[in-house]
Amino acid sequence: FAVNSGLSALWFNPERDGEGLVLEVLSEDTALVYWFTYDEEGNPRWLINLGEIDGNEIFFPEMIVTRGGRFGPDFDPDEVEREVVGWATLSFSDCDSGEFSYEAFGQSQTISMIRVSQTMAAGCQPAVGVPGQPVREYAGESGSWFDPTQDGHGYTLQWMSRDEAVLIWFTYDSEGNQYWMIGVGARDENKIVFPALHATRGARFGEAFDADDVERFEWGELVLEIDCESGTAGYTSNIDGFGNGQLSLARLTVLKSPACPWQPPKLTDIYEFTWTEIPIDPGVPGSPNSIRAQSIAEDGTIVAHLGSSLVVWRPEAEEWEAIPGRVAVGVPAFISRDASFIVANEELIADSDAAYGPTIWREDTGWLGIENRIFFQSVLRGVSHDRSVLLGEGRFQGEVVGDPWIWDKQNGKRLLSITADLINPTPMASSNDGSTIVGFTIRLENSIETAAIRWKGGADPEILRDSLGAELGIAISCDKDCGVVIGAGHAEYLPDHPYQQQAWFVLENGETGFLGALDDAVTDGPFRPYTPREITTDGGMVVGSYSIWVTQSQLGSRAFIWTQDTGIVSVRDILEELGLGDDNWRDMIPTMTESGDKILLHGNFSTNTTHRRTVVLDLQRK
């Protein structure tokens, strides 16, 4: 792990609540730290200086304290005294934890630290953003600000992921003693309003620190009006000796990331794309035109249907190999992240009344059916990201409507809860621990429609709705925790809905968002033109397909990629921009690896609708 711009944040030790650090990563080599704490008498104290970045460490050779500045319009920068009192080191094991070591005022300690804020667009999150956390143009206002006529005190500001800003004002009281206030604000048109800054006192410096000694009290209000370079600050305090006033602000520091103003990146700014066409001839018995790619592992191994069999493409072998045995046609097959096993639906009885059951194939064991079959016929519908949880629906002999089930190695196969008003609920994806499952159910209202559902913690399934209260259509997949669920359309056609027909996501807290629209998508009809198909383990990227006109009378599809920062992007536009591959597709259906580093495109040539093709797009971070 190495220091990166995403470490620009507030840091603290939970057992030392009431003091902490603000870190600003300014460049590849330099960072600035503010340490807000207390002196030996329980009065506010703060230390500051620049540090040198080396690998996972930042060394601050001189920690400085100040004194002498007097708060208010009579502030005289010439009265500010600066004193070197020690040194400090910050070291990090990852983006969320580290250690702070110091020697100052005759004491030395090493204190574990955790990150308590996420500076918008700074880093330490997916390069393409986080669903539901859009980056604002003003994200680059994060950094330090001061009034040049009052050099010696100022603010450190960080825009956080939820349109909130956290600010600490490092200043002095009317007697020239160090003082600091902290608060959280929000944007109100072109202003940032901090309705309540809080000051603290009571705790002691260093080893004598006791969080129970910290007294917190409201100091007053602060309003910033800034752009990327300058602005003003107006304050009103309810504490004697501070009063009210206004400062003219200038930038003191600019973070390494994000830039100001922030501009949405293009996917081609973030990734190098490589196009690899997989040979059509599978090299095994059967028609090559019937090959249908299903899933791809991180190393590029592909599993595909070839009629009622499975075939595997391994990049190092550069040829397809047959997997013995018969599988259910039309039921998806999933390969594990490391390509060590495949999950599919095996044909168990080869006769006119065939039974099928989910099964796992490994090269050393062959097919091993999962235990506790329960049903005469089980259909695999989905899996968790790590392939440890299998999902599907099962039917007893002679039945038409199936029952939903879940399977994992520890608990075997068991039925999911259902309610009387939900017809044929179908699970499609699961969290890695099996606690959250998403899918859809049939609704019989004015017509046959599907509604998105979610099971949580073994409870009955709930209907998923958007922020306007409309029922969502079909939940298709989710990230490793099912904290981000993706799906298609609404349960019914809503021509007046602002996001009708768009693909969507739902977060753990119920917040919803829509993936957007593409100019060449066919949307003139009561159907769902956008179908999201896969989401990365971390929830940062979604791939799916959307409807287009291949000819004036023939519908087809193209792939899209969506991220929070780039929005929805057509793969055909990326290929055209980069001059890669071709657009000779009738249907282009995408799946991808769990990391999103490889996107598997499969479908038919547009010139021959019975001739299938398979392409791998490699995405390499720039």
In DSSP terms, which residues pair with 336 in a beta bridge? none
**What pLDDT is attached to residue 400?**
63
In DSSP terms, which residues pair with 157 in a beta bridge? 143, 167
**Strand duo 57-67 + 44-54: pairing:** antiparallel
**What pLDDT is attached to residue 614?**
93
Question: And the tokens for 522?
Answer: 């066919």
> What are the tens digits of pLDDT across the range 387-418?
999 999 887 766 666 789 999 989 988 899 98
Confidence at 551, pLDDT banded by 50, 70, 90 = confident
Q: What is the DSSP letter of 464?
A: -
> What are the tens digits of pLDDT across the range 154-189?
999 999 977 899 999 999 999 999 999 999 999 999
Alpha-carbon dihedral 419, 422, 428, 429, rounded to 10 degrees = -40
CB contact at 8 A, 597 and 291: no
CB contact at 8 A, 159 and 179: no
CB contact at 8 A, 32 and 143: no
Confidence at 446, pLDDT banded by 50, 70, 90 = low
Q: How far is CA 323 from CA 342, 346, 359, 362, 580, in A?
A: 10, 11, 13, 10, 32
Average pLDDT, the chain: 92
H-helix or E-strand containing 233?
A: strand 230-237
**What pLDDT is attached to residue 372?**
54
> What are the tens digits of pLDDT across the range 552-575?
888 999 999 999 999 999 999 999
166-179 as b/e: b if 16+ CB within 10 A: bbbbbbbbeebbbb
CB contact at 8 A, 454 and 446: no
Alpha-carbon dihedral 315, 320, 323, 327, rounded to 10 degrees = 110
For residues 319-345, give the mean pLDDT: 91
**What pLDDT is attached to residue 282?**
46
In DSSP terms, which residues pair with 345 in a beta bridge? 358
Cβ neighbours for 455, distance < 8 A, ≥ 6 positions apart: 416, 417, 427, 436, 437, 438, 461, 462
- Burial status of residue 142 (CB atoms within 10 A of its CB: 0-12, 13-18, 19 or more): buried
**What pLDDT is attached to residue 369?**
80
**Looking at 27-41, 53-67, 273-287, which range is the least confident one?**
273-287
Residue 258: cis peptide before it, omega within 30 degrees of 0? yes
% of residues, the chain, pLDDT over 90: 78
**What pLDDT is attached to residue 175?**
94
**What pLDDT is attached to residue 350?**
46
**Looking at 43-57, 218-232, 373-387, which range is the least confident one?**
373-387
**What pLDDT is attached to residue 326?**
86
**Strand duo 423-430 + 612-621: pairing:** unpaired
For residues 457-479, give the mean pLDDT: 95
Residue 286 has pLDDT above 80, yes or no: no
> What are the tens digits of pLDDT across the range 101-143?
999 999 999 999 999 999 999 989 888 999 999 999 999 999 9
Residue 470 has pLDDT above 90, yes or no: yes
Q: How far apart are CA 291 and CA 288, in angstroms?
A: 6
> What are the tens digits of pLDDT across the range 496-518?
899 989 999 999 999 999 999 99
Confidence at 445, pLDDT banded by 50, 70, 90 = low
For residues 599-608, give the mean pLDDT: 88
Cβ neighbours for 503, distance < 8 A, ≥ 6 positions apart: 486, 487, 488, 489, 514, 515, 530, 531, 532, 542, 544, 562
